Amino acid sequence: MRDFTSDQIKKIKPSGIRKFFDIARQLDNCVSLGVGEPDFDTPWHITEEGIYALEQGYTFYTANQGMPELRKEIAAWNKRKYDLDYLADEIIVTTGGSEAIDIAVRCCVDPGDEVIVLDPSYVCYEPDVLLAGGVVKKIRLKAENEFRLTPEELLSAITPKTKILLINYPNNPTGGIMGKEDLEKIAKIIIERDLLVISDEIYSELTYGKKHFSIAALPGMKERTITINGFSKTYSMTGWRLGYVMGPLPIIEQMKKIHQFSIMSAPTLSQYAGIEALRNGDEDIVTMREEYDRRRKYLLGEFERLGLPCFEPRGAFYIFPDISKFGKTSEEFCLDLLEKERLVIVPGTAFGESGEGFVRISYAYSLDSLKEAIRRLEHYLSQIN
């Protein structure tokens, strides 16, 4: 029989994070700092709105693009938070940020177009570009720059075929952020070279000591930026599958077609809950952010004590320490740690080659879990040193 699967899909490797959880599942008594998902309950007033929507019988499709009321709130929220000027019509409500990334890429990539993807970065960007027939050009970010993209690195990656720069700050897996002054230098090049930016800002509300800045807020950038955000990380709503994409009207008009032919509309009850989140959820964000920040400081202090070098991450809920001095690859280090101490963390290489020498540690876990994890890590390091 023929192999019916496409050549395109065969180019895509399974996620490197998956493997560790599969091994961990076979072992008893594992402690994980592996998952990139908030550990808080969805704030109850938000969940309650979802329940109410079900009780009211709102169990049908919404407008393809998302409920007008929700899109109006999304526009207002982004204006209030990041001074972004999107209209409700320039927004598509999606099934999580993941769909938003996929349809943004598919809407803009023709076969052969080059898309610049940062390395290390979240695992879905490269597959999404490949599925759209695009060519991935990676920029290997450097730890000494705190994994920020520099203008020199960007310039050296641009070719005549380059069309899109895909960025994600606050960053998964490094926890790095880029401020206004960093983004201004990038925006200048984007405008000069007539490129488009797809900016995944799903962790925008999780920054510590510095407010998030959105690249689309820079002069001349809104018309060449697709901004992606959502509810999963901000309001601890991962299972609700609710995100959105914002962009210039001509792009959004085209993008709507992919969304409506593949998804129809984002989950209705989630959209009702989303309205409540945007209107009345500011305090929930503060509470969660403060808790993450305390855990972040706790881990940074402990890593310093253990002699694990790492830069101070100011975003998301990840720390990306350098483990190269222990003479193991990231994968060897993580596998060994899992086998000997039953502690799950993710090798930096799951996010690209330049993650070699680093591991990603998530602090979306209770302090008790973090303490137990540190105890195991300390024990492990004392054995191999």
Partner 1 sequence: MMEGDSMDLKLSILSVLEKNAKTSVEDLAKMLGVDEEDIVIAVGELEADRVICGYNAIINWDKVSNEKVAALIEVKVAPQRGVGFDKIGSRIARFDEVDSIYLLSGGYDFLIRIKGRSMKEVSQFVFDKLSTLESVQSTATHFVLKKYKDHGVLMEERHENERDNVIL
Question: What backbone torsions phi and psi does residue 360 show, to the nearest 5 degrees?
Answer: -100, 125
Rounded distance between C-alpha atoms, residue 260 and residue 262, angstroms = 6
Q: x/- binding map, residues 122-151, to partner 1, per CB under 8 A?
A: xx----------------------------
User: Do residues 166 and 198 touch, judged by C-beta distance below 8 A?
Assistant: yes
Cβ 249 to partner 1 shortest distance, Å: 32
- Interaction residues for partner 1, span 232-271 (CB under 8 A): none
Q: Is 37 helix (H, G, I), strand (E, B) or coil?
A: coil
CB closer to partner 1 out of 32 and 94: 32
Q: How far apart are CA 313 and CA 259, in angstroms?
A: 34
Segment 268-297, which members bind partner 1 (CB under 8 A)? 290, 294-295, 297
Q: Is 372 in the site for partner 1 (CB under 8 A)?
A: no
Q: Given its phi and psi angles, is residue 54 left (phi above 0), alpha (psi -120 to 50 degrees) or beta?
A: alpha
Residue closer to partner 1 (CB basis): 232 or 271: 232
Residue 318: strand pairing partners: 362
Q: Which is nearer to partner 1, 142 or 294 (CB)?
A: 294
Q: Which is nearer to partner 1, 36 or 170 (CB)?
A: 36
Neighbouring CB atoms inside 10 A of 193's CB total: 14
Q: How far is the CB of 294 from partner 1 (least distance, A)?
A: 4
Residue 301 CB, nearest approach to partner 1 (Å): 4
Q: Closest approach of Cβ 233 to partner 1, in Å?
A: 10
210 binds partner 1 (CB under 8 A): no
Amino acid identity at 291? E
Q: How far is the CB of 269 from partner 1 (least distance, A)?
A: 18
Q: How many helices (H) and strands (E) does the chain have?
A: 13, 12
Residues ≥6 apart with Cβ < 8 Å to 298? 367, 370
- In angstroms, the CA 82 to CA 228 distance is 13
Minimum separation from the CB atom of position 31 to partner 1 (A): 11
Give the residues lining the site for partner 1 (CB under 8 A): 15, 17-18, 21, 24-25, 32, 34-37, 39, 122-123, 172, 290, 294-295, 297-298, 300-302, 344, 367, 371
